[in-house]
């Protein structure tokens, strides 16, 4: 199946999932996670209209983004991987939104290095998994407020990666909790309108639970070696 066909399929499946959940299809956007995939394949995705793209390794973004910068239509890059402070410099020239901010120190480094205004999402460790990145749910809104006070950074919303499980349905409570946190944030005056939740295997559940941005790799670009 061509990339263009897969992209069309995903977008129609997302629309169906929205309608099933009583939501409007335009409320959910699809981010193409193209890690490990060659630039030629990404050009195909861009030509098919998939302009929202994401990398999860800083150096990979640094290396690939310049090769696509002049492409029409141009990509909008997001960064979705774990980010060490010493690699922020590779990411900020390219990423419009960094999904994985889970400490004030990381946000400060992003603010210091970014060449212009940048959006961030606060990553929530909804499952309280000590092995995983993300801030705990009860510290999330305080971190949002702290980060929001920095120059050049706007907190656009929240992101979460639930534990890997057999049954995507078991992730529902984690997605629901992050949606609830975002609603509390909005009530407190935060602009948390992006909810980055859901991947190839669980995006239908995430959409039902309130996701506005799903991160899809395999279902668009095929499996990774």
Ligand X SMILES: *Cc1c(COP(=O)(O)O)cnc(C)c1O
Q: How far is the CB of 72 from ligand X (least distance, A)?
A: 26
What span, in angstroms and rounded, lies between the C-alpha atoms of 18 and 11? 11
Based on CB atoms, which residue is closest to ligand X, 54 or 118?
A: 54
Nearby residues of 102 by Cβ (< 8 Å), 6 or more positions away: 122, 123, 125, 133, 134, 135, 143
With CB under 6 A as the contact rule, the residue among 84, 169, 218, 222 that binds ligand X is 218
| 89, 68 Cβ separation under 8 angstroms | no
Q: How far is the CB of 217 from ligand X (least distance, A)?
A: 3
Q: How far is the CB of 31 from ligand X (least distance, A)?
A: 8
Based on CB atoms, which residue is closest to ligand X, 64 or 215?
A: 215
Q: How far is the CB of 129 from ligand X (least distance, A)?
A: 14
Q: Quick check: 64 binds ligand X (CB under 6 A)?
A: no
Q: Quick check: 48 binds ligand X (CB under 6 A)?
A: no
Based on CB atoms, which residue is closest to ligand X, 112 or 172?
A: 172
Q: Quick check: 35 binds ligand X (CB under 6 A)?
A: yes
Dihedral angle sign, alpha carbons of residues 75, 186, 158, 24 = negative
Q: How far is the CB of 198 from ligand X (least distance, A)?
A: 8
Q: Restricting to residues 75-134, which ones interact with ligand X according to CB under 6 A?
A: 80-81
Per the DSSP assignment, residues forming a β-bridge with 95 are 77
User: At residue 214, what are phi and psi to the nearest 5 degrees?
Assistant: -100, 150
Please give the residue whose beta carbon sits closest to ligand X in the complex: 217
Q: Restricting to residues 158-217, which ones interact with ligand X according to CB under 6 A?
A: 161, 199-201, 215-217
Based on CB atoms, which residue is closest to ligand X, 79 or 148?
A: 79
> Which residues would be at the binding site for ligand X (CB under 6 A)?
33, 35, 56, 80-81, 161, 199-201, 215-219
């Amino acid at each position: 199946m061509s990339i263009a066909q897969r992209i069309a399929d995903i977008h129609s499946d997302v629309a169906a999932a929205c309608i099933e959940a009583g939501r409007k299809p335009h409320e959910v956007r699809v981010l193409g996670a193209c890690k490990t995939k060659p630039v030629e394949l990404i050009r195909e995705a861009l030509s098919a209209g998939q302009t929202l793209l994401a990398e999860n390794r800083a150096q990979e973004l640094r290396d690939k983004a310049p090769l696509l910068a002049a492409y029409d239509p141009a990509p909008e890059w997001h960064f979705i991987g774990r980010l060490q402070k010493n690699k922020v410099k590779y990411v900020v020239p390219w990423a419009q939104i960094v999904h994985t901010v889970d400490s004030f120190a990381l946000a400060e480094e992003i603010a210091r290095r970014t060449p212009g205004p940048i959006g961030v999402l606060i990553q929530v460790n909804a499952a309280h998994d000590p092995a995983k990145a993300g801030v705990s749910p009860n510290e999330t809104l305080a971190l949002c407020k702290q980060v929001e006070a920095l120059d050049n950074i706007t907190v656009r919303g929240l992101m979460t990666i639930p534990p890997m499980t057999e049954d995507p349905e078991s992730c529902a409570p984690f997605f629901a909790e992050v949606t609830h946190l975002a609603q509390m944030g909005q009530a407190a005056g935060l602009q948390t309108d992006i909810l980055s939740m859901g991947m190839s295997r669980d995006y239908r559940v995430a959409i039902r639970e309130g996701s506005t941005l799903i991160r899809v790799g395999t279902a668009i670009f095929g499996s990774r070696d």
